[in-house]
Structure 1
Amino acid sequence: METTLAYQLASNTTSTREPPIGQALSWARRYVPSPNRPLLDISQGVPGTPPPPALRDALSAAASAPGVFSYGPDEGEYDLRKAVAEEMRWVYGGGDKASMQVDVKPEDISITSGCNLAFVAVAMCLAQQGDEFILPVPWYFNNQMTLNLLGIKTVVLQTYPEDHFQPDPERCAKLITPRTRAIVLVTPNNPTGATYSPALISSFAALVRSHNIALIVDETYRDFIATGPPHYLFHSSSSTEVTSNQPPSWSWRPSIISLYSFSKSYCIPGHRLGMITASPDLLPSLTRIFDCIQICAPRGGQRAFLTKPADDPTASSLLPSLRTFIAANRAALAARHELFRSHLPSRWKIASHGAYYAFVRHPFKGKDAKEVCQRLAEEIGVICLPVAFFLDRESAEVREEDRYVRFSVANVDDKRITTVCERLKEAEEVFGWELDG
């Protein structure tokens, strides 16, 4: 690409793909909407509802509270770290059932300016240029983009539709080399929606422990799991939930790094709050990075969560009072997944789904999902993302795994879900392509 710049750009930046969402939106700009046929954006993982009134009021008050205009601690407000640790004991303890078995302390928590920054900081702590991270593919594209920007090699752990896109720890073990620094899991997964069981996550924990590398678990969507705690890694060695593939002296701190985002659970992506749960021994390295790229996470958002609920002035934070909001959102998302499944045209096949996403095989024979998604946006007015955005492969040959499309059911209402399905059926009729039987 020609440039008018007199200076040279770093090759790591020019070789990193452009943000895929922008490409999908560029297709949509060619669609001409009308009052009867609006553009339907089912592409991005954005909350479709605002935060609850109590949190909105807290954010408003905290934005102008004394003290929020100055710098805060690099690792986040201590009181929020304490409140988050308490909430994690509730989440990973299955409510109050086993909260005392969960071994998480405020010193294990760092607050960041969003979960993407959390991943950047962790990657910078663990690896140098030429080192390797193993990522299941399809992957969350920002993770791979980050590694490319840092000069860290992404090693592909292929997952398959017939396995519902679950990663295989035995296959992963064969990819580990002396340059491997971490394995990265995103669960519930973006883009596939697949949720990894506690037993599967435990198997990966045993794998990294045996090779003295890190397991990074991105749990942005953890609060949308309805079947129980996301995993039992944070349980103490005396817990009955620690599985048999962990040693009797099990401690998560030597090898586990968990990432989390407040954006999805609390519907505040614009406030950029995330966190890292890791051994305090990692904190000195993290704070060096924080001090260079964020100084501190936004203080207004942090203070908002420390607001005491109006009906419980003895509470230490707003977090416990927001559990009912999260539960209602979780139930609404599950219902929307069912609505999408029940209205999806029969030739479109859901391979996996969960949290915000459904990963669907389109019915057009021999057509790459990227071509399908472009026509859906330009001609039908439906924006969705092809699997090609979650891979790093260019090929003239269209394989079966190139036929998958990610739909986000979170940022549209029920009416739009059914309308999307109607338009997918319409696409079968107007595109003029051969269909599966």
Structure 2
Amino acid sequence: MPAAALNPLITRLSPPPIPAVQAWGRSYDGSLGPLIDLSQAVPGYPPHPALLQWLGEAAASLAYTNYGPIEGEMVLREAYAAHVCELYGAGIGADNIHITSGCNQAFICAAMAVAAAGDTILMTNPYYFNHETSLAMLGIKTGLVACNSAGGFIPTVEAIVEALVPGVRALALVTPNNPTGAIYPPDRLKAVFDVCKRNGIWLILDETYRDFLPEHYGAPHGLLSDAQWQEHLIQLYSFSKSFCIPGHRLGAITASARVVEEIAKIMDNLQICAPRAAQGAVAQALPGLAEWRAGNRHEIEVRAQALRDVMAGLNDWKLEAVGAYFAFVRHPFKARPSTEVAEHLAKRAGILSVPGQYFGEGQDQFLRFAFANANAATITQLHGRMLGFSI
């Protein structure tokens, strides 16, 4: 008898890339020192002790053992709305906020809310691979907006306009960018948003790493002050990196009350509600740990500078972009695919990185370094390991 079929939208996807990269590291013999893991973006320092205390108290409370509101705990929606208001100088209320289980879930909810199977959502090339695979398994087409190193991997208005085709429902951007680290300037975001408005499409703006913009950067953009933002903007955020709790899976969507209402329909079928104990703890941490988070921003910039210093002494390697959590590094082995370079770098030099090939067409000359995973002292060790590296 024939075997039962599986969904081809799923079976055609490649296996998750991070476990494959980490498997290479298990073959490293340790001869050059401990493994330096620059693969998956995880905070390289622990959560604040007060947050761990609040998490423990919330987890032990009977109040959080039942189902919660689909849109999220009101105490967190209000706290996050106040935070967004303060950061962007815009009038945002709790009815504009939907809490999700991580930012990947926030993205898939946003995508499902604005596009159906057969529609198209534009992304930059290079792109964040989980965004591409999320769209693929929903049957939503992906259109690519070309970016390049000469332009700092920042999309141009012209490239976006060129990528617009019938059936495009949204443009999805990530800033600070994953994988490149590129920071999209406010004036560019405003110009891009104007294109979205003129063409009647949504801008899905993933700002997972915005808390690690350079110190004193100010508001990342002014889009939330635009009179038409609620008709064209869906903003995504993650609490994971800022509060060092990726295992608790907590993200947020900022959108119109109409969009929040539609996303609640999606969430009721995906998960019903995001983790409740974590929501209660983060609601306290948002105002209570602002100074600690500012210190973490400074620490990440110290690590970014350490990487810049290291790469300046490696003439055969080129740092093409760096910011927030990530750097996009051009490797010197032009005839070799990035998967081969990354595999050898892991097994022989003890450096885990993600091949550029996983981030889109034409990215084989690059590796992604999640430099925020390692402190400055560890990052300086890259020089000795990469200087004489060859394959």
TM-score (norm 2): 0.95
The secondary structure found in structure 1 opposite 2:107 is helix
**Is 1:258–1:276's contact at 8 Å kept on the other side of the alignment?**
yes
**Is 1:182–1:214's contact at 8 Å kept on the other side of the alignment?**
yes
**Is 2:303–2:371's contact at 8 Å kept on the other side of the alignment?**
yes
Q: 1:289 aligns with which of 260, 266, 271?
A: 266
| Structure 2 counterpart of 1:298, one-letter code | P
**Is 2:302–2:376's contact at 8 Å kept on the other side of the alignment?**
no
Q: Whole-Å Cα distance in 1 between the matches of residues 187 and 259 of structure 2?
A: 26
For 2:46, the equivalent position in structure 1 comes to 50
Higher share of residues assigned helix = 2
1:406 equivalent in alignment to 2:383: no
Q: Whole-Å Cα distance in 2 between the matches of residues 424 and 338 of structure 1?
A: 17
Q: Which has the larger radius of gyration?
A: 1
- Offset at residue 413 of structure 1 (A): 2.0
Matched pairs, number:
387
Q: Whole-Å Cα distance in 1 between the matches of residues 2 and 273 of structure 2?
A: 33
Q: Whole-Å Cα distance in 2 between the matches of residues 146 and 49 of structure 1?
A: 29
- Offset at residue 5 of structure 1 (A): 9.2
**Is 2:80–2:283's contact at 8 Å kept on the other side of the alignment?**
no
For 1:338, the equivalent position in structure 2 comes to 305
1:135 equivalent in alignment to 2:132: no
**Is 2:316–2:331's contact at 8 Å kept on the other side of the alignment?**
yes
The secondary structure found in structure 1 opposite 2:143 is strand
For 1:10, the equivalent position in structure 2 comes to 7
1:258 equivalent in alignment to 2:235: yes
| Structure 1 counterpart of 2:24, one-letter code | W
The secondary structure found in structure 2 opposite 1:156 is strand
Q: Whole-Å Cα distance in 2 between the matches of residues 297 and 22 of structure 1?
A: 25
The secondary structure found in structure 1 opposite 2:68 is coil
For 2:383, the equivalent position in structure 1 comes to 421
For 2:330, the equivalent position in structure 1 comes to 361
1:267 equivalent in alignment to 2:263: no
The secondary structure found in structure 1 opposite 2:291 is helix
- Offset at residue 29 of structure 1 (A): 2.4
1:64-85 residue CA offsets vs partner (Å, 9 max, x unmatched)? 1131000000000112111111
For 1:212, the equivalent position in structure 2 comes to 200
- Offset at residue 196 of structure 1 (A): 0.2
Q: Could you tell me the percent identity over the aligned residues?
A: 42
For 1:91, the equivalent position in structure 2 comes to 87
Q: Whole-Å Cα distance in 1 between the matches of residues 120 and 292 of structure 2?
A: 39
TM-score (norm 1): 0.86
- Offset at residue 30 of structure 1 (A): 2.2
Matches within 5 A, 1:21-420: 21-33=18-30, 37-93=33-89, 102-226=90-214, 227-235=217-225, 250-307=227-284, 318-344=285-311, 345-391=314-360, 393=361, 401-420=363-382
- Offset at residue 319 of structure 1 (A): 1.4
Q: Whole-Å Cα distance in 2 between the matches of residues 365 and 225 of structure 1?
A: 32
The secondary structure found in structure 2 opposite 1:47 is coil
**Is 2:68–2:276's contact at 8 Å kept on the other side of the alignment?**
yes
The secondary structure found in structure 1 opposite 2:220 is coil
| Structure 2 counterpart of 1:273, one-letter code | L
Judged with a 3 Å threshold, the aligned counterparts in structure 2 of structure 1 residues 305 and 38 are, in CA distance, closer, same or farther, namely closer
1:116-141 residue CA offsets vs partner (Å, 9 max, x unmatched)? 01111111111111110000011000
In structure 2, runs of 5+ residues without a counterpart are none
In structure 1, runs of 5+ residues without a counterpart are 94-101, 238-249, 308-317, 394-398, 432-437
Q: Whole-Å Cα distance in 2 between the matches of residues 55 and 5 of structure 1?
A: 53
RMSD: 1.6
The secondary structure found in structure 2 opposite 1:306 is helix
| Structure 2 counterpart of 1:412, one-letter code | A
Q: Whole-Å Cα distance in 2 between the matches of residues 328 and 52 of structure 1?
A: 11
Q: Whole-Å Cα distance in 1 between the matches of residues 176 and 47 of structure 2?
A: 21
| Bigger mean CA deviation after superposition, 183-192 or 362-371 | 362-371
**Is 1:373–1:385's contact at 8 Å kept on the other side of the alignment?**
yes
- Offset at residue 264 of structure 1 (A): 0.8
Q: Whole-Å Cα distance in 1 between the matches of residues 45 and 2 of structure 2?
A: 43
| Structure 1 counterpart of 2:384, one-letter code | E
Q: Whole-Å Cα distance in 2 between the matches of residues 251 and 51 of structure 1?
A: 38
Judged with a 3 Å threshold, the aligned counterparts in structure 2 of structure 1 residues 418 and 296 are, in CA distance, closer, same or farther, namely same
Q: Whole-Å Cα distance in 1 between the matches of residues 367 and 260 of structure 2?
A: 39
Q: Whole-Å Cα distance in 2 between the matches of residues 5 and 268 of structure 1?
A: 45
**Is 1:340–1:421's contact at 8 Å kept on the other side of the alignment?**
no
| Bigger mean CA deviation after superposition, 209-218 or 4-13 | 4-13
Q: Whole-Å Cα distance in 2 between the matches of residues 408 and 295 of structure 1?
A: 32
Q: Whole-Å Cα distance in 2 between the matches of residues 148 and 357 of structure 1?
A: 25
**Is 2:304–2:372's contact at 8 Å kept on the other side of the alignment?**
no
1:241-277 residue CA offsets vs partner (Å, 9 max, x unmatched)? xxxxxxxxx2310000000000011111011100111
| Structure 2 counterpart of 1:272, one-letter code | R
The secondary structure found in structure 1 opposite 2:288 is helix
